Amino acid sequence: MIVMQGKVKLLLIAIILSVLVLGCTSPSEKVVKSNDWVLVDYTGRFTNGTVFDTSNATIANQTGIYDPGRIYGPLSFQVDQPGMIPGFNDAVLGMTVNVTKYNVTIPPEKAYGVYNQSLIVVTTLKTANASDYKDYVGQAIYYNGVQAKLLAIDAVNNTMTLDYNSPMAGKTLVFDITVRAISTTPFAST
């Protein structure tokens, strides 16, 4: 009988050590992995602290970026699939539901890319006069079906200078990310 109690104690000690070594994650607790669908709340800032995007309407209001035409709420995406910047995608891998990662810093190479001078193009206007575009200098326009920032107009030569870089190119981004749900199938649209 004493030997049996010793085996029970050893088994109990082994279970306790397993929990301590492996962590307190229960087998049913989901962890984000490749190809999972996730719902995440996020706030994105530049390194100077300026918020440029958020899924939270209250934060958008507080920071002056609220857009009344936008529907705020968690973002849904499939992990390791096209459509999400690589650094954000990498940050959610291994996360669990209702856990937040703060100050996830994403360099340009893992965000919208480095600023590329070769994407600044001077083009001849073929269908309009330069003066037709003068009010759009500094703004995003569509030219030949592609969005670009209009940098300059040259009315003498009837040309325009366009920047095809993403407006976020070259920027280091900082995110706070909270996983709200994990699924193996897409979430229903609301």
Domain of 126 in residue numbering reads as 117-163
Percent of all residues in the chain with a pLDDT value above 90, rounded to a whole number = 73
Query: Are 48 and 89 found together in one domain?
Result: yes
Query: Are 56 and 86 found together in one domain?
Result: yes
User: Residue 181: beta bridge partners?
Assistant: 39
In the chain, the number of structural domains is: 2
Q: What is the mean pLDDT of residues 152-174?
A: 94
Query: Are 44 and 108 found together in one domain?
Result: yes
**Position 120: which residue type?**
I
For residue 10, being part of any structural domain is answered with: no
Q: Is the pLDDT of residue 150 over 50?
A: yes
For residue 6, being part of any structural domain is answered with: no
Query: Are 99 and 41 found together in one domain?
Result: yes
List strand residue ranges (DSSP E) for the chain, in order: 37-46, 51-54, 75-78, 100-106, 120-124, 140-143, 146-154, 159-163, 173-183
Give the pLDDT confidence score for residue 143 in this predicted structure: 86
Q: What is the pLDDT of residues 75-85, one digit of tens each?
A: 999 999 999 99
For residue 14, being part of any structural domain is answered with: no
For residue 1, being part of any structural domain is answered with: no
> Any idea what the CATH number is for the domain that residue 46 is in?
3.10.50.40
Q: What is the mean pLDDT of residues 54-80?
A: 98
